[in-house]
Structure 1
Amino acid sequence: MSPVSSAAPVPSGAPAAAPIVRRLNDPRIKESSGLAASTFNRPLLWTHNDSGDRPRLFAIGTQGRTRAVLRLSNASALDWEDVAAGPNHTLWAGDIGDNRAVRKQISVYRVREPRRVASARVRATRFRLAYPDGPHDADTLLVRPRSGRILIVTRSKGAGGIYRAPRRLRADRVNRLTRVARAPADVTAGSFAPEGDFLVLGTEDDAFGYRKVGGKGTRIALPARQKGESLEVRRGRRAALVGSEGRRSPIYRVRLPRSLRDDPRSPSPDLGPSQVKGWALDINEEFNTLDPNRWNVRDRTYNSNEDSYLLAANTRVRDGVLVIEGRRESAGGRQYTSGYVDTNRHYSVPNRFRAEIRARVPMQQGLWAAPLWFRPTDGSGGEIDLVETYGREAARPLVHQTIHTDYGAQHRQSALTYPFARLGDPAGTGWHTYVVEKTPGRIVMTVDGVTTATWRSGDPDWFNKYYEAGKRWNLRINMQIGGSYGGKPDASTDWSRATMAVDYLRTWVPE
């Protein structure tokens, strides 16, 4: 991996005036040393004190008032320096400071962010980390939004380093870090964009934006602050929030350069859950519950072309995530059970729509996951499959995206595939964001901002008949087991990993 360009970053010019968006009014917050946005769709920020405090996180509302305090058990606070949000509604606290460079091990703590904003004691999972080249001081903890991979950025008067933790952290042993890139001198804070497509590293005076770890940096001027050690990229990618130490310390909003926040690979860059150019948000489903006025949960039934029986017990909402579980158990005369939800007769989108999900699929033999697909509400021909995966392809997992004609003997389909490995996920089991836009004469699908499938009027030759007919479309989410496409489970199938998850679902209609 090429080193981070810290010597000659690309200049971006000074930003517009950086307004103060809130102050940390709690007198207990004397040395704010990290910022992380809530993992739920709410304007809440998490922060903590530098060394000398107890292991606790403060939830800060829009007026700067502390809304809640999480007290971490199974944790200590030798020198906390940063906090970061991760997948599955997790928060990570980094006990990574080491001014004298004497610590043989550092620690990061993982907790689940409660959906209810209230003070509580939460048990943390501790992961010990060790550098391959001796102790370092560090102020910056990064967590990849989709995979949850941990990176530590060391702080040095000369060039620092970026160190990556193992893909699977172990709580019962020391996890060895690997140096993967250089970093600018004196990095005090950093954050990935929530969409995962860029990161920002900050010093007390400047920040640098990167399209990838080890890439070329774009300089971003920061407002003058008193010992600035916190930075968080806002959802929507337009701005970063930067803070400082001291009582009633301010948090500033710094606009990010367009070259960093715009993604030319996407037909319609995601500007946040409610702001997508040309579209009006219709539903923002965070899966706090399965609303019966929107969703049907299938129970004690089955589909053709599969070997599982559908039970409502296999579909549940857990910590803001829709989970469908496959099980090896007999029911309804079948060997396996699974789950299925749809919006038939409750909710549909018009013939022109945009939809987005963030989902994670299993890659186990015999499992056929379909986190989101669409069927016409009038029962006519046509089917739009935003994403399907087959566990039999675990050695080379693929995203399958397909459009169909009628079912039956005359059935035809146009299927396109894209390797998960090209998305940085060779196993295919990480979190990914899938988007479909259906506009006049065109259907475009993307994964993590990469355009992966496109169909146009006349290509295939049956496109207009099925997709230009003014239909409305209902939504479906399910996981099949067995069948002619998925294949049957076998001895290699790990049923402890037979779970599909959807973090959120959003739809838009034309403005």
Structure 2
Amino acid sequence: MPERADRTPDRAGRRSWAVGAALSAPLGLLLTVLPAGVAGAEGVEATGYGAPSTRCEVTDPRLPELSGLVGAGDAMLAMNDGGARAEVFVLDGACAVGDVRAADVDPYDPEDLALGADGTIWLADTGDNNHTRETVALIGLRADGSSTLTRLTYPDGPHDAEALLMAPDGTPYVVTKEVLGASSVYRPDAPLADGATVPMSRVVELGFTLTGTPGGPVGRAGQLLVTGGAVSGDGQRIALRTYTDAYVWPLTGSDVAGALAGAPVRVALPESPQGEAIAFASNHRDLLVASEGLPTAVTLVPAAGEIAPAASTAPADGAAAAAGTLSHEVAPLTAGLIAALVATALVWIGGRIRRRRQG
């Protein structure tokens, strides 16, 4: 039997579409009453990229839920969201599947993909819609055909995460997907090791804000939910995406945490039903994005100029300047209001789910 990547006894919650659908209505109400300090987007400019175009179209029935994407020269690596095996599909320039790389591992909910400097392909088995997993995992597919499995633990309980950033020095960073945009970035406390369980520490807090860009399966909430990540092949840029927008930071060395503390360039992405995949193209500057569903287009978003941090409108002194665009602290009153609204939304969702089960 394939090795299981997860230790959680109940695996029925891999994909909780009922919860995802139920989120839309209460979150839509919640987002209309959030304070301006949370919903503002100061310091982020939608500049630096040109008009998107379709590079190719994925039609292969083996990729119905394309969630992870990596540029590999003229080819691309792609993976499904979910699945009973750890599999990576090699796509040519026309999005046709050629080779398939796989490991005899049964993942729980793989969500993103990264390529290491040594050629190892990393699958982030980090999805946790119901926040019940005791561990998440990184699965490595080595160039020699062997594989590794490292389990990871959060310091503060379960999180759902759909974005993996692999620093040039091989350090992985997991970025959580949070309904109010308050994503956290976690880094393992020790090197990855096959068969080991490694604790992680939170190194950066991000605060994604409403942008007005349409798209995604959950209305305005999709503007806040991190669904994918990428590091450019030359190690000079980082990208994170939501269902609607991409954010690009310059990277120096392997200081991913330091880079994410700065101000990004925001790119409004073409509207798509469930956009979760993002990668850098072979020139290390253009973006490639794709959505779940078949057929699905791999869209090229060209870099139109030098990618540099946007000018911040925050005060220039110490901690206030460090808060920048996406990293912020929430005042106690605001936090209390958010907590109350979230509690109301969760009660509403729970009632919907119970009624569906009883019906």
Counterpart Cα distance in 2 of 1:126 and 1:6: 40
In structure 1, what is the equivalent of residue 169 of structure 2? 147
Deviation at 1:234, TM superposition (A): 1.9
Deviation at 1:229, TM superposition (A): 0.3
> Does the 8 Å CA contact 1:85/1:92 hold for their aligned counterparts?
yes
Deviation at 1:149, TM superposition (A): 0.5
> Please, what TM-score do these two structures have when normalized by structure 1?
0.46
Find out whether 1:62 has 2:93 as its counterpart.
yes
Query: Within 5 A, what are the aligned runs for 1:22-421?
Result: 22-38=56-72, 42-73=73-104, 75-113=105-143, 122-144=145-167, 146-158=168-180, 159-183=182-206, 184=208, 185-211=224-250, 212-256=259-303, 258-260=305-307
Counterpart Cα distance in 1 of 2:131 and 2:249: 27
CA offsets 1:296-355 (integer angstroms, 9 cap, x no match): xxxxxxxxxxxxxxxxxxxxxxxxxxxxxxxxxxxxxxxxxxxxxxxxxxxxxxxxxxxx
Task: Say how many residue pairs are matched.
Answer: 246
> Does the 8 Å CA contact 2:136/2:151 hold for their aligned counterparts?
yes
Distance change >3 Å, CA 134–CA 70, structure 1 → 2: same
- 5+ residue gaps, structure 1, are 115-121, 263-511
Deviation at 1:63, TM superposition (A): 1.2
Query: Within 5 A, what are the aligned runs for 1:2-21?
Result: 7-13=41-47, 15-21=49-55
CA offsets 1:427-451 (integer angstroms, 9 cap, x no match): xxxxxxxxxxxxxxxxxxxxxxxxx
> Does the 8 Å CA contact 1:12/1:257 hold for their aligned counterparts?
no
Deviation at 1:8, TM superposition (A): 2.8
Counterpart Cα distance in 2 of 1:182 and 1:258: 28
Counterpart Cα distance in 2 of 1:218 and 1:53: 37
> Does the 8 Å CA contact 1:152/1:164 hold for their aligned counterparts?
yes
Structure 2 letter corresponding to 1:178: S
In structure 2, what is the equivalent of residue 408 of structure 1? none
> Does the 8 Å CA contact 2:64/2:293 hold for their aligned counterparts?
yes
Deviation at 1:6, TM superposition (A): 8.6
2:229 aligned counterpart, secondary structure:
strand
Deviation at 1:56, TM superposition (A): 1.0
Structure 1 letter corresponding to 2:186: Y
Counterpart Cα distance in 2 of 1:192 and 1:6: 27
> Does the 8 Å CA contact 1:238/1:261 hold for their aligned counterparts?
no
Q: Percent identity?
A: 30
Deviation at 1:261, TM superposition (A): 6.5
Deviation at 1:31, TM superposition (A): 0.4
Deviation at 1:110, TM superposition (A): 0.8
Deviation at 1:256, TM superposition (A): 3.1
Greater strand share, 1 or 2? 1
Distance change >3 Å, CA 54–CA 173, structure 1 → 2: closer
Structure with greater contact order relative to length (CA < 8 Å, sep ≥ 6): 2
Deviation at 1:9, TM superposition (A): 4.2
Higher Cα Rg, which structure: 1
- 5+ residue gaps, structure 2, are 1-38, 209-223, 251-258, 310-359
Structure 1 letter corresponding to 2:164: L
Deviation at 1:128, TM superposition (A): 0.5
> Does the 8 Å CA contact 2:102/2:141 hold for their aligned counterparts?
no
> Does the 8 Å CA contact 1:6/1:217 hold for their aligned counterparts?
no
- Cα-Cα RMSD: 2.1
Question: After the TM superposition, which parts of structure 1 deviate over 4 Å for at least 4 consecutive aligned residues?
Answer: none
Counterpart Cα distance in 2 of 1:50 and 1:6: 31
2:183 aligned counterpart, secondary structure:
strand
Deviation at 1:195, TM superposition (A): 1.5
Counterpart Cα distance in 1 of 2:287 and 2:162: 17
2:307 aligned counterpart, secondary structure:
helix
Counterpart Cα distance in 1 of 2:51 and 2:307: 19
Distance change >3 Å, CA 181–CA 52, structure 1 → 2: same
Distance change >3 Å, CA 77–CA 254, structure 1 → 2: same
Counterpart Cα distance in 2 of 1:64 and 1:108: 26
> Does the 8 Å CA contact 2:265/2:308 hold for their aligned counterparts?
no
Counterpart Cα distance in 1 of 2:78 and 2:87: 9
CA offsets 1:113-146 (integer angstroms, 9 cap, x no match): 46xxxxxxx33100100111110000001111x2
Deviation at 1:243, TM superposition (A): 0.5
Counterpart Cα distance in 2 of 1:98 and 1:179: 18
Structure 1 letter corresponding to 2:70: A
